[in-house]
């Protein structure tokens, strides 16, 4: 059981706006920057958001936010290449560890 909770699956059509959520606690998401990673098939997880900051090269249709102990990744104008599994991650001071969510499989219909 992951320390961070994500939807198992989310789907959307091309051009749609979708939001993925990541729910944690005060000792992880509530205290630290959340990272979001995109993993396509068996490739290396690729950072797509740090808090609300876009890593270099990531299109600005990706945006991030946080409210209390829940972080969100929003993709506006969904594209076929966005189909992937997305993981959130945060440091957790209660276990002194980097924790990950179980991942959300995003399907582009």
Partner 1 sequence: QVTLRESGPAVVRPTETLTLTCTFSGFSLNSYGVCLSWIRQPPGKAPEWLARIDWDDDKYYNTSLKTRLTLSKDTSKNQVVLKMTHMESVDTATYYCARVEGNYCGAPPDKWGQGTLVTVSS
Rank residues 16 and 94 by Cβ distance to partner 1 and give the closer one.
94
The whole-angstrom separation of Cα 80 and Cα 92 is 33
Comparison of 82 and 87: residue with beta carbon closer to partner 1: 87
Contact region with partner 1 (CB under 8 A), list: 8-16, 47-55, 62-70, 74-82: 47-55
Contact between 91 and partner 1 by CB under 8 A: the answer reads yes
Q: Is 2 in the site for partner 1 (CB under 8 A)?
A: yes
Nearest distance from residue 107's CB to partner 1, in Å? 17
Tell whether residue 1 is a contact of partner 1 (CB under 8 A).
Answer: no
Return the number of other C-beta atoms located less than 10 Å from residue 101's C-beta. 26
The torsion angles phi and psi of 92, rounded to 5 degrees, stand at: -130, 115
Q: Which of residues 57-86 bind partner 1 (CB under 8 A)?
A: none
Residue 4 to residues 46, 57, 58, 76, Cα–Cα distance (Å): 18, 26, 24, 23
At 41, list the tokens: 């098939």
């Amino acid at each position: 059981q992951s320390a961070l909770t994500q939807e198992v699956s989310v789907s959307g059509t091309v051009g749609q706006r979708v939001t993925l959520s990541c729910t944690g606690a005060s000792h992880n998401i509530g205290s630290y920057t959340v990272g979001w990673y995109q993993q396509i098939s068996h490739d290396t997880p690729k950072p797509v958001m740090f808090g609300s900051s876009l890593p270099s090269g990531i299109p600005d249709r990706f945006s991030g936010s946080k409210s209390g102990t829940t972080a969100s990744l929003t993709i506006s104008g969904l594209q076929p290449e966005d189909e992937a599994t997305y993981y959130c991650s945060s440091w957790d001071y209660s276990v002194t560890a980097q924790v990950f969510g179980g991942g959300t499989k995003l399907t582009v219909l």
